[in-house]
Amino acid sequence: MIQSTFELLTGIVKSRSGGIIGPDQHYMLETRLAPLLKREALRDLEALAARLKAPRGEALAQEMTELLTTNESSFFRDGKPFEHLRALLPALHAARPAGQPMRIWSAACSTGQEAYSIAIILAELGEADPGFRSRRVEILGTDITTAVLDRARAGIFTQFEVQRGLPIRTLMKRFIQEEGRWRVRLEVAAPCRFEKANLMGELRGLGRFDVIFCRNVLIYFDVPTKARVLRGMAQQMATDGALFLGAAETAIGITNLLAPRGAERGVYGLVEPQRLSA
C-alpha cells in the first residue's frame, strides 16, 4: 500500500471514530478490509481509496471505519471494577429518591458482555435486597459499530465467550442453552438496551447517568480526543456518579473535571460539578 493511501484511509478512520491506526498496523488494513474489497470487486486498497473519494463514498467510509474497530470484550472483564460496582450500587440507590430510575451506561459496549455483566450484578443485588429490587434500573449499551450492536441485542454467546469470565454457577443460573450457544435470561436482558452512538459526537441526547463504564476504547484515541470524550462524559454524569475506565486508561493529566473516587484504581468522580454548567 502506498503511503498516501495509508494516510487517506487512517485519516478517515480518525475523523469518524477517533481511532488512531499507527504505521505498524498496515497489516490490519490489509486483513480487515479484504472482505470489503472482495464484495466491492476492488483490486486493492488504492482502488478502495479512489472509491471513497467518489459518490457513495460516505457509506463505504463508515463501513470501513466500523471494520477497523477492535471489538474484543468478555464478561466481568478485569474482575475488580465489577466488584467495586457491586459495592457502590447500594449507596447510589440509597442516595436517590424512590421512583427515580438508576441509569448505567456501557459506552463502547461492543458485543454486550459488559452491559450484561452489570445486569447480572443488579439481578444478584435485587435478589439479596427487596429494597434494591424495587429500584428501576436502565442499562444503555452504545457503540459505533452496527455489527457488534446486533450481537449485543441478540444476547446470544458462544461457548468460548461464556467461558471467558463467567463463573459456571452464574452461567447456569443466568443463561439458557440453545443449540450449543447461550442466551441471557430475561432478568439479565430486560434492563439492557443497545443503541448506536459515536463517542466523538453529541452525547447530551443520551441523558444523565449514575454510572458510566467507558473501558478499553480511550486507548485507541489521541490525547485531545480522550480529553474531548472525557469532558462529554463528565457532562452526562450525576454529581455523585462514577466513571469506570479500563485497566490501561486514565483521566489523570487529561482532564481536570474528573478525579479518582477513593482508592479504587480506574474509578472517577466529578471534581467540581458546577464547572460543567459554566
Ligand X SMILES: C[S@@+](CC[C@H](N)C(=O)[O-])C[C@H]1O[C@@H](n2cnc3c(N)ncnc32)[C@H](O)[C@@H]1O
**Which of the 8 DSSP states describes residue 98?**
T
Q: Sketch the per residue contact string, 7 through 26, with ligand X: x for CB under 6 A, - otherwise.
A: ----------xxx-------
CB atoms closer than 10 angstroms to residue 240: 14
The SS3 of residue 144 is coil
Per CB under 6 A, the segment of 24-32, 70-78, 169-177, 247-255 that binds ligand X is 70-78
In the bound state with ligand X, the residue whose beta carbon lies nearer, of 114 and 161, is 114
Nearer to ligand X by Cβ, of 73 and 236: the residue is 73
Does 118 sit near ligand X (CB under 6 A)? no
d(CA 97, CA 100): 6
Contact (Cβ atoms closer than 8 angstroms) between residue 122 and residue 101: no
Among the listed residues 29, 148, 230, 258, the single contact to ligand X using CB under 6 A: 148
With CB under 6 A as the rule, give the number of residues binding ligand X.
24
Binding mask 191-230 for ligand X (x = CB under 6 A): -------xxx--------------xxx-------------
Residue 73 or 170: which CB sits closer to ligand X?
Answer: 73
Q: What amino acid positions are annotated as catalytic residues? A: 32, 143
Using the 8-state DSSP alphabet, how is residue 7 labeled? Answer: H
Listed ranges 21-29, 66-74, 151-159, 184-192: which one lies at the site for ligand X (CB under 6 A): 66-74
User: Does the footprint of ligand X cover residue 117 (CB under 6 A)?
Assistant: no
Q: Please report whether residue 249 would count as binding ligand X according to CB under 6 A.
A: no
For residues 237 and 83, what is the distance between their CA atoms, to the nearest angstrom?
21
Q: In angstroms, what is the minimal distance from the CB of 201 to ligand X?
A: 8
Pick from 5, 10, 117, 145: which binds ligand X (CB under 6 A)?
A: 145
Residue in 125, 124, 121 with CA at minimum distance from that of residue 139: 121
Give exposure, 52-79, as e/b (b: 16+ Cβ within 10 Å): beeeebeebbbbbbbbbbeeebbbbbee
254/228 Cα distance (integer angstroms):
9
Q: Indicate whether 144 belongs to the interface with ligand X (CB under 6 A).
A: yes
Cβ proximity to ligand X, 141 vs 191, nearer residue: 141
Which grid coordinates belong to 120? Answer: 447480572
Cα separation, 14 vs 222, whole angstroms: 9
Contacts of 74 (CB under 8 A, 6+ apart): 113, 161, 164, 165
Question: Given candidates 29, 64, 85, 108, which one binds ligand X under the rule CB under 6 A?
Answer: 108
Q: Does residue 70 interact with ligand X by CB under 6 A?
A: yes
Which residues of this chain interact with ligand X, rule CB under 6 A? 17-19, 69-73, 77, 108-110, 114, 143-145, 148, 198-200, 215-217, 246
